[in-house]
Amino acid sequence: KKTKESLKAVYCWQYINCLRLWTAVLAAHHQTTPGLRPLLYPLIEIVTGTARLLPAAVHLPLRLHCVRILQRLAAASAAYVPSASILLEALALPEMTMRPRKKAAKAQAVRLPLVLRLSKEDTLRTPEQLDACVEEVFTLLNREADLYRYSPGFPEFSVKICQGLRRFCKENKNARYRAFARGCIEICEKYSTDIVRRRAALTQAPKDVRRLEFLKPPDLLDMGKRHEESLAREKRSELPLAPARSDGSPDADGKGAGDAPKRSRKKRKKAAKPVTITGADGADADAMDVVQEGVDWSDDGSDGRSSP
């Protein structure tokens, strides 16, 4: 039963980290340890059920975490793990097509890797939440298409994705989001055209094809390597600097926000340079100011010399 206590036991970081731990174990050792491969299917079912437990907009970050887990399992096991439908359901939320409210003065960017749920107030109604969620959805959709691009069934697999993205373009008025959708559609159509050409040259019947990447050229990377490269590119694209903290708490180097040296806005006065005054003949003023002895400087009208 979906009680409040049972939902809290599932929708928490402890549960998600347990799923990540088992995913890392199976992804690393399912080939070398025969007893671990049968655990892939139950784990996939658990992650899929967690993502579909509460399909509300407030829990969208947790569903995207589950999609990342499913894609890692698919890349490690070279098996088809459906997760595109979860992403298309996220784009079909009513909040995705609504016009966001005005940006708040002190709005902060949403960092989806660090949250499991959005705020109940104004869920997916602020530009910050919409931008973060839409970009994450299309990042995962492009990665989904790249995972199965060499499968003989990719043209049929991409039909539902393209239909959902075309519907999203018609209902959404944001030019940036529509550009994301068109770019993903172009990628799917490009991969589909290539697979149709390669599939026409096959001599085997579809029932005889056992490998997922049957049409992959031998000199190209497999699913696992492509997935690792995609994650590495995503990490490199992130900003290297953490956002500034407004509470003055210490950073990793032990310095707080208020420890930075403040530059004085006052301009420093330049020290006056000593000026040497010279006479007409180039002599210094000190030599000109020597008082001559025996001269009367009184104003009595005389010629300035003392009487004998």
168-212 pLDDT, tens digit per residue, is 999 998 999 999 999 999 999 999 999 999 999 888 887 788 889
- According to the model, what pLDDT value does residue 285 have? 44
Type and span of the H or E element at 219: none
Type and span of the H or E element at 229: helix 223-237
- According to the model, what pLDDT value does residue 102 have? 66
Mean pLDDT over the full length of the chain: 81
pLDDT (average), residues 49-71: 93
Identify the weakest region by mean pLDDT among 84-93, 133-142, 206-215, 232-241.
Answer: 232-241
Tell me the three state secondary structure of residue 216.
coil
**More confident position, 241 or 185:** 185
Residue 95 has pLDDT above 70, yes or no: yes
Residues ≥6 apart with Cβ < 8 Å to 194: 149
Q: Give, in degrees to the nearest 5, the angle at Cα 28 between 24 and 31.
A: 135
> How many whole angstroms separate alpha carbon 301 and alpha carbon 280?
28
- According to the model, what pLDDT value does residue 140 have? 96
Tell me the three state secondary structure of residue 301.
coil
Identify the weakest region by mean pLDDT among 93-102, 143-152, 243-252.
Answer: 243-252
Residue 253 has pLDDT above 80, yes or no: no
